[in-house]
Structure 1
Amino acid sequence: MQHFSIAAIPGDGIGPEVMAEGLKTLKKIEELHGGIHFSIDTFDWNCDYYLKHGKMMPENGLDILRDYDVILLGAIGAPTVPDHISVWELILPIRRAFQQYINLRPIKLLRGLNSPLRYKAHDDLNFVVVRENTEGEYSNMGGRLHENTPFELAVQNNVFTRYGSERVIKYAYSLAEKRPKRRLTAATKSNGINHSMPFWDEIVREVGMHHPNIKTDIYHIDALAAYFITRPEELDVVVGSNLFGDILTDLGAAIVGGLGLAPSGNINPEKNYPSMFEPIHGSAPDIAGKGIANPIAQIWSISLMMEHLGFSDIGDLIVSSIEEVLLEKNVSTPDLGGKNTTIEFGEAIHQQMTKMSMNSI
């Protein structure tokens, strides 16, 4: 029996609603795979917690999380707390303290769905974005001067280290080695950002020299964003800085159905610290409490978690079960044109896992 400890942070808005379906997915995995057990602790660290305590998590929050195998996050953010507080005091400290330097986001058009891109099919939309996750443009270096005067200014420093850039690019190349197209595309803006981006490009080329069988392209971010729309079939592994990867993956989610479908993993590949898995979508306060949020992104994030833990067969089972439910079109939430609830959609996926398990586990 393999035991895994999980820290669950449901968060705000629809976070608790989709997290509930994610936790049911873990129970289903235990049911179908007798050799796995999850011990789950849930933490109420969210914007309500901030309003009560003046902080997004306890002073020792990171110490509390440190010994868990993985962290599951629902969604963070509420109109009552500025985003730069909710994100910078919870999500970003976790990513940095636990060296979750890989943000992995699959861009895959699930079977049973159509892309908003009129002439692109499922084989055209199946790539992955590797985003640097701990430095770059989301550095905490900078400040403001002369506040509330006509001379007020704000300075935000981008931080690119050789160590930080090299490790994420190496990871992206290693991933490309395992994929059929054997192709890596790096996002840059070296024609306009004249220090950090040429530095990034140099490291891409240096690491690429050790992977001569991988075709490497370095595209300016504006051109690459256009290629996401016009020729996504040419993409396989895309690697980008913190900001560029963030923007590209939201665009990628849009072309395969929307943020409600998109999972992500904040990964420490060495497993020295817990990795964190979460949907890309936000807390969606406009539909919170209505029970109609799409749980696919949360459940799919557990597929990424299982792959990280070494159970790729279970990860594949989860994604295949999601696709079968979408293909049958009997159950779907309003964002997909249906009338079902979050719970009903989650239950359909879990029932499908049971049906498919004999061939997958």
Structure 2
Amino acid sequence: MVAAPRYATSTPAKRPGVRWVAACMTLLTLCLAPHVSAADSQDQAEAWLEKLGPALNTTSYRGVFVYSRGEQVSSMRIAHRFRDGQVQERLVIQDGAQGEIVRRGGRVYCVLPSHANIQLDAILPSGPFSGAFTDKLMPFKRWYVARMLDDDRVAGHEAVVVALSPRDMHRYQYRLWLEKNTGLLVKSQVRTAQNDILERFQFTVLDLAPDIPDKEFEIQSAAPARTFNIETKAKPAPDAAQQVTIGWKLGWHPQGFEASASSEEPRGQAVSFSDGLASFSVFVTPVGDMRMPTGISRIGATTVFMRNLKDGQRQVLVTVVGEIPPKTAVEVANSVSLEPENSSHLATGMAP
């Protein structure tokens, strides 16, 4: 048997000329490729975030969005426009029993199923993050790092993607998709430090319509509508050193969270904190001799932690609820202490 003759072969990688050309092409590609530094990426991301607040109110659009928290998923159809200096909006529940919400400026008209567990402040203005981005962005820039990610498409629209990473362990991270022409939020995610998605919001259908007819903002249900007024005068954020509570004080909270409101209730008091993006509240309620459930739970990004606190004959239930990690909620709750009954009850809300 005669062996087949062997011929010398040369692959492109082994040819000196080809290697030289490949090296030149690689170098040329690197030179021509746009280079975006971390500082440029942060500047671009913050510039996009500046557009987000106005876009949430002034952009006219109609569509359908899906919102999920943990295992809870719901969808809504929405029409939104800004006319004569007022936001007009109509949301129609797409799952389960029928219901709709119409907003005209500060007036809200609701036709909801009696068993529906819907919080108006979680829907109006529409979509998550709306309240956070209608105010100045400066407060939370100290506590989050913004950067640009690769562009994407959402509901057929080109979108830029902004990542917000916390500077400490007491906050979640966020991904925001903003429509390229308007800056409208079309998708968002709340993530843990391990990149697990806790909450998500996304348009599945979106029409950026400049002129939406009046009939799309009229209540269609035959049932009577309940009316709410959400145009309440904003209370100035209380100075932390001047907050007076009823017999308790908060010894610690994460840096950057400032007291945003406090409201005395018939049987206790709540103090709310916000860093400009996330927020949480602390409730202290007298419970007497009642045995109250305690422990921790989380629905989506919302953590609820409850603990009993007893001092002599006094017993209260401490509840921390908000968009903060469970360990942070526990640490906040454990810092609550009861003041002597005859003290001034001054609560600084600051670490001692």
TM-score past 0.5 threshold: no
Structure with greater proportional strand content: 2
Compute the TM-score of the two structures, normalised by the length of structure 2.
Answer: 0.28
Structure with greater proportional helix content: 1
